[in-house]
Amino acid sequence: MNVTEERASSALSEARTLLRSGPEGGSLTPFCRWLRKDFEQYNWVGVYLLQGDQLFLAAWDGEHATEHTTIPLAKGICGMAARERRTINVEDVQARTEYLACFLDTRSEIVVPIMDGPTCLGEIDIDGKRRGAYDASDERLLEALAKELVPHARVLLKRGPSKA
């Protein structure tokens, strides 16, 4: 979808307001819920945090829970995005052998690392129900939102996976 600059600016402002309660506020679930609600092409939204060589699911919103609550760095599109510390936008997940299937109706996925300088703290993972659901405007928006999540990711990682 084409996220206009005006919509992206508005979304960034909304996210800052939502996250203003500070990292001590706890869960990132409200962030996931807001993102999924405000962008209809974001059918499942998750935030994974990186600890050691595993990504663990810290928060999510979608129709169904995923079985992938932990993902080894060596596996899947999520592992690849964290390992390579770059956004990966997959137009057709069925064409990618490394894709870890979560939902039968997922056709596209975008994974954006949460970067603290050169260090990957985690990622935003979004699934879509149609092929080619995401474009460069989604990448820019999600990369800006990932920057807003850095302080929250730091705090949650200090607590450890069981407390995030």
Please tell me the predicted confidence (pLDDT) of residue 150.
95
Q: Where are the domains of the chain?
A: 5-159
For residues 149 and 94, which has the higher predicted lDDT (pLDDT)?
149
For 3-30, what is the mean pLDDT? 83
How many CB atoms lie under 10 A from the CB of residue 7? 15
Q: CA angle, corner 153, sides to 3 and 67, nearest 5?
A: 80
Residue 68 to residue 141: CA distance in whole angstroms = 25
- Architecture of the CATH domain 5-159: 2-Layer Sandwich (3.30)
Share of the chain above pLDDT 70, in %: 88
Tokens of 23: 């990292």
Please give the pLDDT value at position 163.
45
- Kindly report, residue by residue over 37-70, the tens digit of the pLDDT: 999 999 999 999 999 999 999 999 999 888 888 9
Q: What is the mean pLDDT of residues 123-139?
A: 94
- Mean pLDDT value across the chain: 88
Distance CA 17, CA 73 (A): 32
Confidence band of 89 (pLDDT split at 50, 70, 90): very high
**How much is the pLDDT for 107?**
86
Residues 6+ apart with CB under 8 A from 68: 57, 76, 78, 100, 102
pLDDT band at 96 (very low <50, low <70, confident <90, very high): low
Task: Please give the C-alpha separations between residue 21 and each of 9, 54, 86, 101, 102, in angstroms, as whole numbers.
Answer: 20, 28, 28, 34, 31
